[in-house]
Amino acid sequence: MAPITNARVLFKSYPEGYPIPGETTVYDTTQTIDLETVPLNGGFLVKTLVLSVDPYFRGRMRESKTSSYIGGFEIGAPLDGFGIGVVLRSENSKVAVGKHVYGPKTLHQEYTVYPELGHAAIIEKHPDLPWTVYVGALGMPGQTAFVGWKEYSDAKPGQVAFVTTGAGGVGAIVVQLAKAAGLKVISSAGSDEKVEFMKSIGADVPFNYKTTDTRAVLEKEGPIDVYWDNVGGEILDAAIEFAAQNGRLIECGSISGYNTGQTPIKNISMVVGKCLHMHGFLVWPLLPKYYEEFYATMPGKIASGEFKYVEEVTKGLDKVGDVILAVQNGTSKAKAVVVVAEE
C-alpha cells in the first residue's frame, strides 16, 4: 500500500489571550504514513475516530516550565487529549485488532502508533449510543461530574444546588445528578438556547447569566447548599455570598479567567464565618473509586433517556482550532466533539 496523508493539528505558539486558529494551532498535511508497513515495535496502530475539545486545553497552551497539574502542549507537536480510535494493527497481546481505545493522550492526528495502552483503556460501546457520547457524558466530562458529586456534594433532599455552565458536558450531568438526589437546582449558562436545554433536563431555576443578575437570582432562590463551580471569578464570589451555613463549594474549573486573567475573590473571608467546605478536585484520583459504578449505571441511564445530553459535533480534523476557540469564548452550544473519521 502506498503512503497516505496523515493529517495533524500542531501546537505552534503560545497565545496571549484567546487561541487563534491558524496561529496558535495549525492544521498540517505534510506527514505521510504507510498503514501496512509502518513499524509497530510491539505497539499498535490506531485510526482516530473522535476527539474531545475541552476547556482545560487553554491551560496547556503555556511554556512547559510553568507548573500545573497537567503538562503543557509541546511547540511543533500534535495536540493531545481525550479521544477514541479503532485498532488497525497490533503487536500487543492486550490490544486486539478491531477493538476501540479511549484515552487522555490521544494525538490530534489521523493515525498513530502507540507503544502501549498506558492510561488508555479498551472500551465497549452500548449498542444504542454513538461513539461521540463516550468522550462527553460517558467520558471524562461525565466522569468528572459523577465522581465530584458523589465525593463532595453531601446532598440531601430539599437542599439547593447552584450549577454553573449547566448546559455543558460536565454541568448538564451535575444538574441531573442533583435533581435525582432531590435537590432544587439553580443553573446558569450564557445563551437562551442553553437555558432551554437546562430547563429540559430538570433545572428549576435556569437563567442566562449574561442577561440576568446572578446575585439577584441567588438572593431570591438561595441560600445555596451545594455550589458546582466551572467558572470562578465574580460568580464564585456571588456563590460564597449567598451560600448556606456549612455549604459545599465544589471547585471544578474557572473558565471565566482562562483567557483574560482571574478575577480576585472578595468574599473569601465568608468561608470562615459560614463554615463553608471548599473542595478543589481532579477526576483521575477519584475515578478508580467510582469507575465500576459509573459504567454500571450511566450508559443505561443515557441510552434510556433518563439522563439527557447534548453535544455539538464538528466533522473534520481541520476544524479543531475553530472548535477550541468556540469552547474558550463560549460560542459553542454544547459539549464540543470533533469527528475525525468514520469506521
Mean pLDDT of the chain: 94
Give the model confidence (pLDDT) of 288-319 as tens digits.
Answer: 999 999 999 999 999 999 999 999 999 999 99
Give the model confidence (pLDDT) of 168-222 as tens digits.
Answer: 999 999 999 999 999 999 999 999 999 999 999 999 999 999 999 999 999 999 9
Spans of the chain, pLDDT less than 70:
66, 256-258, 260-261
Give the model confidence (pLDDT) of 105-119 as tens digits.
Answer: 999 999 999 999 998
Domain spanning 4-136+310-339: CATH 1.20.140.10: no
How far apart are alpha carbons 302 and 304 in whole angstroms? 6
Q: How many helices (H) and strands (E) does the chain have?
A: 9, 17
Cβ contact 155:178 at 8 Å: yes
pTM value is: 0.89
How far apart are alpha carbons 93 and 237 in whole angstroms? 52
Say which CATH topology domain 140-284 has.
Rossmann fold (3.40.50)
- The full set of domain ranges for the chain reads 4-136+310-339, 140-284
